[in-house]
Structures are given as structure tokens and as C-alpha cells.
A = this chain, B = another copy of it.
Amino acid sequence: MSDLIVWTYDWVPEGPRGFVRDLRLRWACEEADLPYSVRSVSFENRGSEHLARQPFGQVPFLSDGAVELFESGAGLLHLARKSEMLMPRDPLGEAQTLQWTISALNSIEMVTVPWWFLEITGAKENGLTGWLQSRLDHIESVLKTRDWLAADRFTVADLLMADVLRVTKIRAFGDRPATEAYIKRITARPAFKKAHADQMAHFAAGDAARAQ
């Protein structure tokens, strides 16, 4: 019996299915073979109880016994401390994993998510496109030279970077073969496929519950 609980919504619309960030935590648990369960909070009723656990009204959050934390990036680093499979234990490997995990959040996603936000809210001209292209160019330069971001092996940094990049439709910005191959390779891992299928099934169960 595990104390690890990944919290997500009970249901979401079709669009975000397969992309809700509980997937990152499921994926990490699957990679590291950490036993976990998944529980739901209401998508439609996010009251003060939800905001007390996640002040921005989002998901996921992660329970680990008495410890609970929000921010998928924080959850990933918390899980990485539990398993060498997610992060090496030597100082250099650990620092590289930390640096690339933060980089996925603060150098790539900091541009890709606001770019996407402007797209879906109907901006006539997306003022972040040039910046996004430049960040994708930098990542392409890095991925041209190696298979993994940190420590010459798969780490939680690859998990997160691949998840951030797969959401971005990078084909729309031109050919970036190293990045495309990287996304394809990382998301071909059985742990990703399991996490993705489980999330899809979870929200399908939410459909069934709503239909009753």
C-alpha cells in the first residue's frame, strides 16, 4: 500500500485530455516503479477547499503521507529524490538534472504556454512567436549533440522537457529533426504510454459518471 497519491480532476473536456499535468506525476511513478494511487477533485466546483490545496485552482497535487505539494515540477523533483531512476545521485548528475528540469519550466514552458494562451484567446498576431522560435532553436542545437539532457541517461528532466515540447506543435515552426526525434523517442517509453492511457481512461470514467 502506497502513500503516494496523485490528485487530478474528476473530468475535463476533450481538448486537454492526454495533456493534464497529472500525467507527468503518473509517468514519473511508472518510470521509477513507485506505487501510487490516483484520486479526483471536482473540475466544475473549485471552492475554497481546492484553493487551500492549490492556490491557483489547478491540478495536479501530490500527497506523500503527511506531505502535500502542488506544481507538477515540484512533484517531479520530490519524486526524483525517492528514486535514482529519475535522478542520479552523484553531484554532477543531480545538478544537471535539476538544471534541465528547471529549464523545461522556466526557459521553454515560460514561452510555449503563454504563446498557446494567446493563440486560444484569439490574439490576431501572436507577439511571442519569434521568442518561441528562438527557444526552440536553442533546444534543437542541444538535442543535435546528444540523446539525453542530463548525465548521459534518461532522467526526470527528459520526462518534463519531452512533455513540454510534445504539447507545442513544433512542426508548425519549421523542421527541427533532433527535437522531433527526441519527443518521439521519449514518449515511446512504456511508462509514458501507460500514464497516457490511464489518464484517458480516468477522464472517460468521468464521462460515464456524468452521464448517470
- A92's closest neighbor in chain B, by CB? B67
Q: Which residues of B contact A64 (CB under 8 A)?
A: 95
Q: How many angstroms from the CA of A128 to the CA of B107 in the assembled complex?
A: 18
Asked if A55 and B118 sit within 8 Å, CB to CB, the answer is no
For this complex, into which size category does the number of interface residues on chain A fall? 35 or more
Asked if B96 and A69 sit within 8 Å, CB to CB, the answer is yes
Which of A5-13, A30-38, A97-105 makes up part of the contact surface?
A97-105
| Contact mask for chain A residues 185-212; partner B; CB cutoff 8 A; 1 contact, 0 none | 0000000000000000000000000000
Q: Using CB atoms and an 8 Å cutoff, list the residues of chain A in contact with chain B.
A: 51, 55-57, 64, 66-71, 73-74, 77-78, 91-92, 95-96, 98-99, 101-103, 105-107, 109-111, 113-115, 117-118, 121, 123, 127-128, 131, 135, 138-139, 141-142
Asked if A117 and B106 sit within 8 Å, CB to CB, the answer is no
Asked if B69 and A95 sit within 8 Å, CB to CB, the answer is yes
Asked if A98 and B127 sit within 8 Å, CB to CB, the answer is no
